[in-house]
Amino acid sequence: MSQVLVIESSARTQGSVSRQLTGEFISHWQAAHPADTVTVRDLARDPVPHLDATLLGGWMTPADQQSEAEQAALARSNLLTDELLAADVLVLAAPMYNFGIPSTLKAWLDHVLRAGVTFKYSETGPQGLLSGKRAIVLTARGGIYAGGSMDHQEPYLRQALAFIGIHDVRFVHAEGLNLGAEFLERGVAGAKAQLTELV
């Protein structure tokens, strides 16, 4: 039995293509793997605060010297990190905002990329601690960016995930969504077809 963690990051709770893709993924996955557990964390409905001095204090201040705010920030980071540690499969839903990922997804990453927990520093440099996990990234893009210089999603997410030891990463891009009805239909259909193959 596997644990699947789905991270939703679209600011839109209605009419979101990335949410359509996660819904499709979950449906296919549960049909193919009925014993698995799927956990969904929705960063629009339950936002994660951006990295600030309080969270840094929670990480770096000795427990007996932490303020209540630092303790609460550390507890939240621990919860998010524990969800990731427990997952065998990580699914990131990432609409493209201004050529990159939503700031809510960046905030989540800032909570879970943690020295000594999800990666460590060694004599040969950083070493990821989450080997053996796989990740699937579902993107939704108004234009067509895959493989181009304006795609700052895929390179960044590949690097961030590799940094914590997740190297088995598959991207499913729904592109051209704002280029007209034909592109929209083709982009969504193509992404859903890839999802079926992945599951």
Kind of pairing between the strands at 134-140 and 89-95: parallel
Q: Which token pair is 146?
A: 């895959």
The answer to whether the annotation marks 145 as part of a ligand binding site is no
Q: Tell the burial category of 28 from Cβ atoms under 10 Å away from its Cβ (0-12, 13-18, 19+).
A: middle
The answer to whether the annotation marks 18 as part of a ligand binding site is yes
The answer to whether the annotation marks 199 as part of a ligand binding site is no
As a 3-state breakdown, the chain gives helix, strand, coil percent values, each rounded to 5, of: 40, 20, 35
The answer to whether the annotation marks 98 as part of a ligand binding site is yes
Among 186, 190, 167, residue whose Cα is nearest residue 178: 186
The answer to whether the annotation marks 96 as part of a ligand binding site is yes
The answer to whether the CB of 41 falls within 8 A of the CB of 7 is: yes
Residue by residue, DSSP assigns 135-173 as EEEEEE-SS--TTSTT--SHHHHHHHHHHTT--EEEEEE
The answer to whether the annotation marks 10 as part of a ligand binding site is yes
Q: Rounded to an integer, what is the distance from CA 138 to the centroid of its chain? A: 9
Annotated binding site for FMN: 10, 16-18, 96-99
Annotated binding site: 10, 16-18, 96-99
